[in-house]
Chains A and B, each alone.
Chain A
Amino acid sequence: MTSQAELDRDRFIPRAGRIRGWVDLYVTMFRIAILNNVQYRVANYFYMIGMIAEPVIYLVVWSTIAREQGGQVGGFTPGQFAAYYIVWTLVRQMNIIFTPYGWEERIRQGELSAMLLQPLFPIHRDIALLAGWKLVTIVMWLPIAAVLTLLFSPELNVRPIDIAVFAVAIWGAYLVRTMPYWILGMASFWTTRVGPIFQLMFTAELLLSGRLVPLSLMPEWAQRLADVLPFKWTFGYPIEALIGHLPDAELFGGLAMQLLWIVIGVIGVRIVWRFAIRRYSAVSG
């Protein structure tokens, strides 16, 4: 017995062309997001400059320490810190996910009702629209990266294989990061005081992902803790895949770990969604 939702989906995306259907769907959403965001270039630049303040601060602080310690700290020279934090800016941009804070509004305003009527699981919409936006901001990022490179002279020598793995890993990082925050956002189905939960997660991520400092500068116990959490596969790993001269085992092992966390995330999303959606009742839509 097939459910109504599955029947609808079959009508929407014919079985024979299922894959082509998905591709069409994603391409269409990319185009919507691109057209939307190209209009607001100034707003996007404000946003990106605000975002770049964070790594520049870390970079200045740690380069200062490296120089005061006679040229390097934790195996990083100022030039290597520069490379790390400049690549950071792109990884951060790729990492942006639908904010868990957005769920409250979605539920309160009844936006979710409209999404539920579409024969499409809502996460695809979030992933596709933000991915389209990223395609715009990657282009906008290039001049920013050029300026940062002139200002901070990074030490960068990468192999073609690093670039290839990096190009996959940044999209992997996006998906790894999407799922836990989607699950967390669904907490809004149960309570309106979600701020503290989100902040705990953001803080854990800041310290244990390589966002604040390269993980090799963290104490040993923190590094062990980071090994069993998903965070480092979203920040530290993609950056080091490009600049860290990782041996092949680590380079490709990282992609496998990303895949593992994506699978765990998808299972988590499915389970939590099933319970969460029962709690939903909308006023309007």
Chain B
Amino acid sequence: MTADRRLVRAYRRLTRCYPPGPRRDELLDTLIECAPAGRRRPTPYEIINLVSHGSRARLGRPRSKGIVVLALLIALAAGFVGASAASRLGLEAVGSLPVGAEAAEINETVFPGLTVWGGGDAEKIVTQGDGEGIEYGYAVSWVKSTPATRDVAGYTAATRARLEAAGWTITSVDPPLDETDMVGANPADRAEGFTAERGGLALHFNDYLYPGAPWYDGDGNATYSIWHRQPWWLTGLAWLGGLLAAALAWLLTGWMSRRVHSASAAGLGVAGAVCCLIGVLPAALLALPGAGSADETASPYWQGLVYLGAGPAILAGIVAALMVAVMTLVKPPAPLTRGLRHAATWPGQVRRRPRLLAALIAGGTIVAGLGLYRVETRHLAAGSCTPVVPSGVVDPPSARLSYRSRIFIDPATPAEDRNLIEAAFRRGFGGAYNFNGAPTPGFTDAFCGHGRIAAGVLDTLPWYWSIDLASPGLFTGMANEVGNMPGIVAVQHLPSNA
């Protein structure tokens, strides 16, 4: 019987679900014999049957159910890592947060007629304030309190109406201010907020008034944070990355399983696989849908890989790579064996050509020497340092997306003025900060990359705060808040990698 050529081709493709070997041929023969006359393509039931049994056959060990469970768990863990990697890489293709005309339009809608500070773009992923987790990047914009914004309920309602008129949809309203358990709470305190969405953007507006607050802390202001909603294609990309990684992990597990025959080697393999799973699965469990926040503090589903420390996941990757490497060495796959046999003739050829050998040795020596020279000169250069003291407002373009800033002051600034400066940069949305006065450890980092500064010079250097900004665009507003205060030497926006 001669079967349809297309059918034979389709069956041949399906037999590729099975591991390489005579089984593919044997199966193809049976499939063709079974096919009724006139059949042009495999039936859906046949396809499902061959894909599922073929995938199972790839794992070897036909009697074992454990290998299926292990392979499923490994595929799940690898799928999670693959999806996480695809999500993270895909984020880079998401555009900038509103800048220029788009930002101006939103500012005019939220805060018409007011000077708006902040805004700009943000990093795609940022470390949370407590340094433990990560969240999607967002940009904060704010205005100083005016009589209009002090009417919290009125201004919030008006802002909602303006945003809705501009095409935004209100998705949630913040719960009312609850100061039940707060010591010294002022009954006149007010705070209201809401979240809105338009296209690929989401925005959280907040207005508050604490009438009893000291003047230097400010009695309130109105702000909005803006961030990207997860685009649909990024979800698709994550699924694609996850499925590819899971399929690859399944094939690798099968490849290893089919090569291991002794019980001790199998035990070692299972132990290694379980180690890998322990490194990844806890982070994957954290990715299960839960009560995640839907505001600007939303975290990516793969935050567990960072939150639990990337160490276990990296260790799992190293163990997995080691297992594959050992297996490749012990039982090299056929194409590799052929390649190695070909490559094995190389050393002999080199030995027969002394000039080539000499050239290779000379080349290697030059590369190693240049490397050593670079390391050594860097070390030598670290010995002496002439401190560079910034002055005025320093905001280079390379710091556009940086959350790091420093405020330098004259060491002679009285404590009271220092406190006022601290209150001012906190008003301007400086987040976590620490103060460096000579000679605290790391103090000279602000003036010299490495190296020592002479003691006499050290005493003349300004003191400074290192401040993490809530979003990179807040630098200008913060500099504006502190710029003219007594004792200020410089306000510096630091590039992230400085």
A and B: interacting chains = no
Question: Which A residues form the contact surface with B (CB < 8 A)?
Answer: none
